[in-house]
Amino acid sequence: MKKGNSIQGNLIPLSFFLWLISFNLGLLFLLSENALAQSENTSSNIFGYYEGEFMPGNNLTLILHFQKSDDGETAGNILLFQGDSKIQDDPLSDIQFDGKQLNFSIETKNTPFKGVLSGDGQQISGEFQFPDNSVHAVLVTRVEKPSKGYTSGEEKRGDVLTQQYSVSQLQTDFNFLREHLEQTHPQLYLYTSKDEFDRFFDSTYATIQHEMTGEEFFRLIAPVIEKVHCCHTGIRPSKAYGERMKQSPAFLPLDIQFVDGKAYVITDYGQYLSVEKGIQVVSINGQPFKEILNRLMSSIPADGHNKTAKLFETNTNFSRVYSLYIGRFAQFQLECLQADDKKVTCTVPAFTGDELEVAEKKFHTDRFPGGALPLSLNINAMSSTAILKISGFWAPNPDDYIAFLQNSFDEIRSKNIRHLIIDVRSNKGGHPFFGAELLSYLAKSDFIYFEQPEEQPEIAPLYHPWPVKENAFNGDVYVLMNGGCLSTTGHFLSLVRYHKLGTLIGEESGGSFYCNDGSIQLTLPETGIQLNLPGVTFQTAVSGFKKGEPLLPDHKIAPTLDDLLNGKDAVMEYTLRLIKN
């Protein structure tokens, strides 16, 4: 979940621009297919920069940039500055332009825009609809180059993968990172004392003795970020790096997952005859997997000392996290262990980022759910069981989310369903209003969602009793969870546990009753590495929870190697057996 922070002050509606930033490291943004229908002549009319004041009186500068992408279509980007600090930098999707009408969406913020380009092509006017359903006017004027955040040629010259940064440049970025962490993060010293952090800062800084590439510096500072022990405090490479990696052969063409501390090949994206499905991988390019896992665990951010969130990220995104935190290679030599303990060696060529994404979508459709809403309902009248899947607490149109829940629970009641399974596995969070709305169909009495920080105007209802719905469910509730349950989903689970609203089944949650957010996005001035930096701590209205303690299920069920290889959902099957028995 996201909300305003001390830097933003009273910029209440602005907080909704910052919901749902996902630092799912390595994932690349794609343009919507809707943009492919635009003609060359029509699209070119919109190309260029547009700049203007946003939400007057709040010292905000809004910049829109439209350009031709490498495939000849229209790409776009939005930047938002408060003073000289960049607080937003996101791609635009679903760009639709017919020469006058202009529509697009900020997918990462679930914020659509509808507007027009003036007849002389010099101004764009229109409105953003924020996730809280509020509407905010936009008027930006075409400029040759924006007053903020502009670098000639958009990116620094040279190959971003090999460009070397001087010691002075790297020290500048490190000091920038340290200064903003120390000045802004609300719980920097919750798990690491100030003395220990100072020593870690100093010792890391002391290792900057020679030139480095951007990715080498990224790997140097990743353990610094991890030491904050906050899943909302994260870094990702520069935008130029991300674009370059789409065409760079650097990714292992295998889906590797950890089971009981050992690594196994679950899917062979390249269909190589030498790679056996289910084989254990002992090392990659001579590096033992124990060392690889230790490096990943010391680099991937997570709340507190939680390990399931890090394993979730690794198991669902191994090729990308390996490239980010371990290294890029044109080919990979794997030492493997067969079932009979015989060691074999396999060599596979690297995939480009684009090739990897195509393969992931082909073999893992569950990781790329379709539909306008991250919700689905399936009812089995014979077993009197309903399964409500909640993949995210967000929606392009909040009314659609609210209506879906209302219609779902109306149907559940009309069919006299006695058992409700709510599947929030892999739900990385979203807007707390949606979490509260779902709870209102499960609670037995009015409840309060947040108790900290002090009441904030933009989410004031969450600090007061939230009424239970008239058609609230009164049967047995089972909630499925795993390490991918972060932020708002952790809040939701903590309230389910505290109010005894259902049985929790699965693996330890990645999030719990508190998190740090209200984030701003900063860019390290030399390398362009992007930093997501929280400014506020949010805590649900519960007792009996301690920061750093795990939020555990009532029934711990984790998939086995056979489950993964055979596509078996062990957690769901266990829950259905529990209901039947």
Q: Which residue(s) pair with 213 in the sheet? A: 164
- DSSP structure string for 4-24: --TTTTT-TGGGGGGTT----
Summarize pLDDT for 364-421 with one digit per residue, the tens: 988 887 778 999 999 999 999 999 999 999 998 999 999 999 999 999 999 999 999 9
Nearest CA among 220, 171, 178, 167 for reference residue 201: 178
Q: What percent of the chain has pLDDT over 70?
A: 90
Q: Quick one: pLDDT at residue 454?
A: 81
Q: Are 68 and 44 in contact (CB under 8 A)?
A: yes
CA–CA separation, 261 vs 504, rounded Å?
24
Nearest CA among 384, 382, 451 for reference residue 416: 384
Residue 132 — pLDDT band, cuts 50, 70, 90?
Answer: confident
**Contacts of the segment 148-156: beta carbons below 8 A, 24+ positions apart:** 148/61, 148/63, 148/79, 148/81, 148/84, 148/86, 149/63, 149/79, 149/81, 149/86, 149/89, 150/49, 155/238, 155/239, 155/240, 155/528, 156/240, 156/528
Summarize pLDDT for 14-24 with one digit per residue, the tens: 333 333 333 33
Q: Quick one: pLDDT at residue 158?
A: 65
Q: What is the pTM of this model?
A: 0.78
Does residue 433 sit in helix, strand or coil? helix
Task: Give the pLDDT mean for 451-469.
Answer: 89
Q: What is the mean pLDDT of the chain?
A: 88
CA angle 360, 364, 366 (to 5 degrees): 135
- pLDDT of 171 higher than 90: yes
Residue 144 — pLDDT band, cuts 50, 70, 90?
Answer: confident
Does residue 463 sit in helix, strand or coil? helix
Q: Quick one: pLDDT at residue 78?
A: 93
Other C-beta atoms lying within 10 Å of the C-beta of residue 460: 10
CA–CA separation, 519 vs 531, rounded Å?
10
For residue 453, cis peptide bond before it (omega within 30 degrees of 0) = yes
Q: Quick one: pLDDT at residue 422?
A: 98
Q: Quick one: pLDDT at residue 481?
A: 98
Summarize pLDDT for 525-571 with one digit per residue, the tens: 999 999 999 999 999 999 999 999 999 999 999 999 999 999 999 99
- pLDDT of 484 higher than 90: yes
Residue 72 — pLDDT band, cuts 50, 70, 90?
Answer: low
- pLDDT of 151 higher than 70: no
Please tell me what DSSP assigns to residue 448.
Answer: -
Q: Which residue is it, tokens 């991300």?
A: 242
C-alpha atoms less than 13 angstroms from C-alpha of 42 in its C-beta half-sphere: 13
Burial state string for 413-423 with b = 16 or more CB within 10 A and e = fewer than 16: beeebebbbbb
Does residue 513 sit in helix, strand or coil? coil
Contacts of 433 (CB under 8 A, 6+ apart): 132, 398, 459, 461, 462
Contacts of 355 (CB under 8 A, 6+ apart): 251, 253
Q: Quick one: pLDDT at residue 88?
A: 87
Give the residue, 66 or 351, on which the prediction is more confident: 351
- pLDDT of 2 higher than 60: no
**What six digits make up the tokens of 565?**
């290889």
